[in-house]
Structure formats: structure tokens, C-alpha cells
């Protein structure tokens, strides 16, 4: 059923943001994927760590503040392709949700992962006295950026949302609501949590990677990240993501919002961008920009285009 819904969504130009919904159903006890060793992120390895209950943050560089928030099951390494360059002009705050990078999940083993993420971003901005930072979030991190901008308008100077929707249910089931999609969300949370304590099956990792990226190298990187994540945290975070619907409330976001959207020839640029514009209806300062020939992880599939879009957004 989930596979059918995903196929239908693609026919209508909708991008399936969380291939987890397909991938879990694909698990069939196949041999587990062993994540290849990843090179250390030398830019951040020695950076000071701010440890909180829901997130940790590494800070590099000096200048106007930029906050980078990764998506579901993704470590702060998502931003390795841009962080060192940004650090030449900015104080860069690299966020990681506890448990997503194989670290101690701390408070994220109970409900409140997404709200905790937003609350601790607000705490970070307040305690560090960050003046109107630029906030960039990918996927789940993009939703968190929107929630932050809505709840604490003074915290966000401007926001870049890298392939995220104000209600992720729209990507799978047209016309769905939080209530109608809740049984699916609960089932996905339970199935993902059930993967904890064992290697994630290769079928799951391949389905996630193949749906979220186009380049083979990108897919291998994603598989390694997903294999390392604590699936109890990922399942809870996905559930909470699916239970948030910001549509109809976006008028309360005063900061400029740029949405970066991947598209392929198969889906068509006009259809995909049109869908995103309709989902973001009511956002007063909205820019929707497409990146062609890319999957969900734009920074991996199209690194040069992503850098250019980020540079333009920051005005560097």
C-alpha cells in the first residue's frame, strides 16, 4: 500500500520526502549492510561541543551566525561540503540531533524529540545572544526551522528550507490530515524502533538511499549515515514530523523563507515547484527555487548548485 501511495505521489509531481515509509516495507531479512568507514570531518573534529539534552552543536568560524540543521537520521556531516567555506565569513553552528550520529540519544528516547530540538535551538540563540541568525534546515531540520521561526520570530533572520514541507503527509497522500495519517505514523514508528539493536537490513538501506539520492556516491554516504542512526530516535522523530501541520499558520512567519526543491525530468520542474508553492501558501516572504537532476539530498547530488544557492541566500 505504501509503495502504491508513493508511486501515485510521484505521478502527481510530488517528491517523497521520507523514503523510510517505503523502505521499512521493503525489509525482508536480507543481509545487513555494513557501513564503510567514513572520513573524519576534520573541519569540526576539534571544534568545541555544546551538549544539550536533545541536540549537540559544534561551532566553527567567526562572523555573522549561521545555524545548520540536518534531517532525519542524518549527522551534522551532511554539511561538510559547505561548512568550511561558510566558516571563513560566519560563525557556523552545526546541529546534530542526539542519536542520529550514533551518539548517546539522551532525552530523545521519549516523546518530544522535535519540540525539544526547537526549544534547544531557541535556548542556543538566546544564551549565545545570536542576532537574527540565518537558519538552514534539511528535511526534518527544515520543518524545525519553520517551527522555530513561527514560535520565536525574533530568533530567525531568514530561513532556507532544503526540501521540506509544512505537512509531510501531503507528499504521500493527497488530502490527508494529521488525524488520517496518524495510524500510518504510529506503525512506522513501531517498525523503525523494532530495528534497533540489530544491523539495519540492506533492503531498507538501499530503499532509503535509492529514493533519496540519484548519484551512486551519494547513496553510499546516505546508507552509512542511516546504518549508524539510533532507529528508536528516528522512529519517534518521524512520527512527530508527521504529526505537525503548519499549513494555514505560515502567515505568522515574518522572516524571509527560501525553499530549495529538487526535481528531475521524470517529475517535471513545473509540477514539483507548483506543488511546493501551494503547500507554502500564506507564507508572506516566500521564494521557491528548484535544483534539477537531484534527489532529496541536494547537497550530495548537486553540491555545486547547492553551494551557489546557499551563497546567494546568505548574500556572500
Average pLDDT along the chain = 88
Which of 43-47, 97-101, 109-113 shows the lowest mean pLDDT across its residues? 43-47
- pLDDT at residue 305 tops 90: yes
pLDDT single digits (tens) 113-164: 999 999 999 999 999 999 999 999 999 999 999 999 999 999 999 999 999 9
Q: How far lies 82's CA from each of 79, 87, 187, 303, in Å?
A: 6, 9, 36, 9
Is the Cβ–Cβ distance between 96 and 103 less than 8 Å? yes
The pLDDT score that the predictor gives to residue 316 is: 86
Rg of the chain over Cα atoms, rounded to whole angstroms, equals 18
pLDDT single digits (tens) 182-241: 999 999 999 999 999 999 899 989 999 999 999 999 999 999 999 999 999 999 999 999
- Distance of alpha carbon 235 from alpha carbon 187, whole angstroms: 9
pTM of the entire predicted model? 0.89
- Distance of alpha carbon 60 from alpha carbon 139, whole angstroms: 23
**For residues 72, 289, 171 and 139, what is the CA-based torsion angle, rounded to 10 degrees?**
10
Dihedral sign, Cα of residue 310, residue 290, residue 217, residue 308 = negative
Q: How far lies 125's CA from each of 67, 133, 135, in Å?
A: 9, 8, 11
Q: How far lies 148's CA from each of 214, 254, 276, in Å?
A: 31, 11, 20
**What CATH number has the domain spanning 2-22+44-311?**
3.40.50.1820
- Distance of alpha carbon 197 from alpha carbon 73, whole angstroms: 16
| Residues β-bridged to residue 57 | 50, 95
Among 58, 18, 294, CA closest to 141: 18
pLDDT single digits (tens) 63-106: 999 999 999 999 999 999 999 999 999 999 999 999 999 999 99
Among 254, 258, 275, CA closest to 162: 258
Is the Cβ–Cβ distance between 162 and 136 less than 8 Å? yes
- Distance of alpha carbon 107 from alpha carbon 113, whole angstroms: 8
Amino acid at each position: 500500500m505504501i509503495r502504491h501511495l508513493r508511486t501515485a505521489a510521484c505521478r502527481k509531481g510530488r517528491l517523497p520526502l521520507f523514503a523510510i515509509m517505503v523502505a521499512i516495507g521493503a525489509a525482508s531479512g536480507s543481509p545487513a549492510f555494513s557501513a564503510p568507514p567514513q572520513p573524519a570531518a576534520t573541519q569540526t573534529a576539534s571544534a568545541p561541543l555544546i551538549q544539550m539534552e536533545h541536540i549537540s552543536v559544534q561551532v566553527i568560524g567567526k562572523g555573522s551566525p549561521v545555524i545548520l540543521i540536518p534531517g532525519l537520521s542524518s549527522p551534522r556531516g551532511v554539511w561538510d561540503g559547505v561548512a568550511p567555506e561558510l566558516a571563513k565569513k560566519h560563525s557556523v553552528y552545526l546541529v546534530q540531533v542526539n542519536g542520529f550520529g550514533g551518539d548517546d540519544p539522551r532525552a530523545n528516547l521519549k516523546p518530544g524529540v522535535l519540540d525539544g530540538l526547537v526549544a534547544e535551538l531557541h535556548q542556543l540563540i538566546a544564551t549565545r545572544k545570536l542576532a537574527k541568525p540565518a537558519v538552514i534546515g534539511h528535511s526534518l531540520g527544515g520543518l524545525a526551522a519553520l517551527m522555530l521561526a513561527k514560535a520565536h520570530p525574533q530568533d530567525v533572520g531568514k530561513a532556507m528550507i532544503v526540501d521540506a514541507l509544512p505537512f509531510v503527509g501531503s507528499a504521500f497522500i493527497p488530502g490527508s490530515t494529521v488525524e488520517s495519517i496518524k495510524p500510518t505514523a504510529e506503525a512506522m514508528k513501531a517498525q523503525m524502533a523494532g530495528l534497533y539493536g540489530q544491523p539495519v537490513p540492506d533492503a531498507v538501506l538501499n530503499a532509503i538511499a535509492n529514493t533519496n539520492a540519484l548519484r551512486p556516491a551519494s547513496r553510499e554516504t546516505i546508507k552509512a549515515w542511516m546504518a549508524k542512526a539510533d532507529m528508536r530516535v528516528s522512529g519517534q522523530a518521524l512520527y512527530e514530523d508527521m504529526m505537525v501541520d503548519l499549513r494555514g499558520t505560515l502567515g505568522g512567519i515574518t522572516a524571509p523563507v527560501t525553499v530549495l526543491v529538487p526535481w528531475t525530468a521524470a517529475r517535471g520542474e513545473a509540477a514539483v515547484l507548483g506543488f511546493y508553492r501551494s503547500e507554502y501558501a500564506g507564507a508572506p516572504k516566500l521564494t521557491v527555487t528548484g535544483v534539477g537532476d537531484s534527489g532529496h539530498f541536494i547537497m550530495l547530488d548537486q553540491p555545486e548548485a547547492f553551494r551557489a544557492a546557499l551563497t546567494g541566500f546568505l548574500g556572500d
